[in-house]
Structures are given as structure tokens and as C-alpha cells.
Structure 1
């Protein structure tokens, strides 16, 4: 369990100093330490919320600080129900008839992986309390990887497939840990800059312009950008395609999605990384 390194337990911290103290607990050490666990001796929540609002935005608490463990258990249960609706048993994966069915399974199990990796961050995580036991999860994972191998093989043969647009996130499977840098680390270059309404307006205007230019749902675009900032992982093609008002043809999907992804990266470089 981590404490504030170099911080006095009897001293209230504010704003930048508070975030710096949190960030020090969050330095990862590979599989040994994938997240920070902070213990405080005073009620710092109001100050923490204010600090996050100053250096991010007023709704950032939900993106930066993990929700209670029980919330993720509920999400895992819901994700499991969706998976079972598509493939009630592991054997059913082999009986999927179309690529659309296979894509639905990939997306459902991928969501389960994401939630399971968040649950791994909690010391009370116990597979026996979940609606999917550890062995069945591993069996589904094997089928998932079989589909990944199938897609790679078909790509080599230059065969067009719906599954080409899916990111299997196999790096999360191989580690079975979310190796996500705390979003506070993304804001290090912003800590010395006071919030400016004008800058926020330009950023919002850029998001609106990008949405209109590419025919994207603005709420969906903001979520994709938020996930990009949180995970530091390039947005997935199928997530980008999913927020398009009009879906491109199968043959155009890759090029259109890649174009939008490049624009999202440019937005982040300009309005996030470029802020000092």
C-alpha cells in the first residue's frame, strides 16, 4: 500500500502539490505494481476534486479515479450476460456462422477482458464471486486468440474481412494486466498553466469542426479522445467507425478510419501535448 512519498501526513495538500503526490504513488513497476493505492489521513476529496477540475475538466473525476470495486463487478456481470447471449458456451464459438457473428463475439469478449483487467487492480478481486469462472474465461480467451490468428492469416492472403477493423488488444491478454498510465501523468505539462477559458473554447471548437468534417457523433468523438488520453493507446478502427453518422463501405473503412485517427492524434498533439 502506497503513501505520499515526502509528504507530511498532517499537512493538507492543494492543487498541483496534491496531484504530484498522487502521481508519485502511481509510478508503475511492470507486473509488480500496475497502479497506485493512496492512503490519506484527512478528507482530501474536496481538494482532489478541485485539483482535477483545474488541471483537467469538471467531469474528469470519473475518468481519473477508479469507481468502487462493486461497480466493476456489476459491469463484469453485464458484460458476461452479453457474451453468453452470443455464445452460451465455449463450444458455441466454433459454431458461429458469419463474420458478423464472430465480430460480435470478439467485441463482447474484448469488453470482458477490459473489465477483468480493471478488477485485477483491486486487492479484493476474486474470480469465485463472478458469474464466469477462471477456467471458462481462459477457454473463451483461447477461442478469441484463435480468431485473432485467423484474421492475421487472412490478412497475409489479402482477403477483405469485417474482422480486419477489430483491434483484439492481444497485449492485454498476454499480460492479463491493464498497463495503463494514470491520466494525471498526461497532465504533467499542464500543471504550471492556469486554466484559460479561451483555450478551452478553441479546443471545443476544434472538436466540433472535426465532428462536422468527418460526420462523427460529437459525444462519441469526445469519448474516443478521452479513452485515447487515458490509455495512451491509438484509437481502434471499429470504435472510430462506430461513431460515424454514415458508415463507409467495407473497402473504404480502413482508409477512412485511419484518416480520422490521424486527425484525433493531431488534435491531441495540438491541444493536449502542445500545452505547456
Structure 2
């Protein structure tokens, strides 16, 4: 507990409140926040191993911790986006260690189970349960890439599911449709052979190794100039990884 209190003191020295994260002016300040909160996460994960652990023993409540975690993930998303645009940032050199804040049980199947409970709940309870689900989507690392799609499902499809019907069946159909649309969009945007793209993704899933640049270039309908191949292949590989992270990882 003493180590956690020290780590929290360091965090609060950088960002006294959750909202103050938005007021950080420089990347150096953002880096200090990332490093400070990362240490808080590390120590909390150690405390989680003890059955007697309770937030009441800590100098931060569970909701505030979740709010800081959401800001941390916002910065992680920002850095990833800028990497794809090939912008240079000092935050590129910082390991966010997002695996530290991913909980195995919090996946898409877990969200579907919550939605099923929400569908079967009384109207008065549904608003509270919906807010809880939205909070989870904001704070869970492995759901961030899926957040917009899940929110779209809740807004456009969930209300039309009859009470008593299986939410999972409707969601599975929705997810398959969205996955196909995303695959077709990626193929069209980058001029990739659809069958070849599926083959590269399948190999990536099987080997768990980043696709080779030559394999990606080989499925392009128009091969880029030699000096452009490295950057173009890297961009496509990044999109393939994003597709897998969104539609496949953490779904079951």
C-alpha cells in the first residue's frame, strides 16, 4: 500500500485531477503523466493478486482510477494515430504497456452478456446499465478499437431486439456484416486483391507474426514505386493489424 500511495502522490503532482490531463500543454508533460500512471497500474496489478485488496484501502476510489485509465488510453490512441500518419513524437519511445490494463474476462462476449441482462431488465434499470456498459467501453484497453461499432449496435440494433430474444445472435450477424464491410473497404482503399488480403490476414492469425512487406506488396493491384514500397507496405500492415484488433482479437 505504501508503494501505491507514493506512486499516487507522483501522479497527482503531474495531474491533480482527471480533467487536468486535458490541460497538459507539451508532449513532455504527457510523457510524465504516462510514466506516472503506468507505475500506478503496475503496483495496482500486484495488489490485485491479494484477496484482501480493496479500493477503500487506497487513496483513490475505483471510479477515479477508471477515469484516469480512460485518459491514459486516450493518449495511447492519439500516439497510435500519429504513428500511422508518420508524425514524430517523443511519446513514440514510451511503452504504454496496455496489456497491464486489459482484463481477460472483459471482452465482447462479456459485453453481450451485459446487453442480454439489460434487454431483460426493467426500463428503470436500463439507463443505469447502459451507462455502466459505456464506462467499460471507455476504460478497457482491448475494447477501445471496438467501441464505436458496439455503440452503433446499441443505438441502431439493440432497441429492435424483442424481449426474450438472444442478443448474441443479432450481434453476431451485425459483427459479421461490419467485418465484411471493413475488409472490402480496406481492399478498395489500398488496391488489394480480396482473396490475397484474406490469405495474408489468415497467415498473420496463424503465425502471430507481422505480415512480411513483400507479401503485402504482392497482393497490390498496382505495385508502388521502389522508393515508396516500404512506407506503403507499412501503412497497409498497420491497417491489417487494426482490422484484426477490431474484429477478431478479444471477441470471444
TM-score (ref. length: structure 2) = 0.41
Question: Could you say which structure has the higher helix fraction?
Answer: 2
TM-score (ref. length: structure 1) = 0.37
